Amino acid sequence: MSSLLIVGADRLGSIPQKLEGLGFKQITHVDGRKAQMVKKEIPSHIDLILVLTDFINHNLTSVLKKKAAEQNIPICYAKRSWCSIYQSIGRCNYGCDKETPCPFK
């Protein structure tokens, strides 16, 4: 179905397995703590970005938001808890076409 880029947190625990249960086939994780992360590009195969807000360089958040908008990639924000992630993905509507059902729900 789709590929997900998770930015933030050093370890994800069981979060990737739960996201696979929602239909994400490819999950890429970067910790987002290093200042040089702002220079990296978003991989071209990414369909959705999930930013874990409690474990990220704040400058990276604004740069990532700008790059995602330029590439029309939806971006969701959540804390590093499954409940917060699940709710964030479920209400994400950034850049989605309102006429078709959301592929991330």
Note the pLDDT tens digit of each residue in 46-96: 999 999 988 787 788 888 999 999 999 999 999 989 999 998 888 775 445
80 assigned to some structural domain: yes
The domain in which residue 54 lies consists of 2-91
Q: With a threshold of 0.85, does the pTM exceed it?
A: no
30 assigned to some structural domain: yes
Q: What is the pLDDT of residue 100?
A: 54
d(CA 23, CA 55): 24
- Reading phi first (left if > 0) and then psi (alpha if -120 to 50, else beta), residue 25 is in alpha
Q: Which residues, 6 or more positions from 88, have their beta carbon under 8 angstroms from its beta carbon?
A: 50, 76, 77, 78
Which helix H or strand E contains 61, and what residues bound it? helix 58-70
105 assigned to some structural domain: no
In CATH, what number is assigned to the domain containing residue 23?
3.40.640.10
98 assigned to some structural domain: no
Q: What share of the chain is helix, strand, coil (3-state, %, to 5)?
A: 35, 20, 45
In the chain, how many domains are there?
1
Q: What is the pLDDT of residue 93?
A: 57
Q: Report the length, in residues, of the chain.
A: 105
* Least confident residue range of 39-43, 84-88, 98-102: 98-102
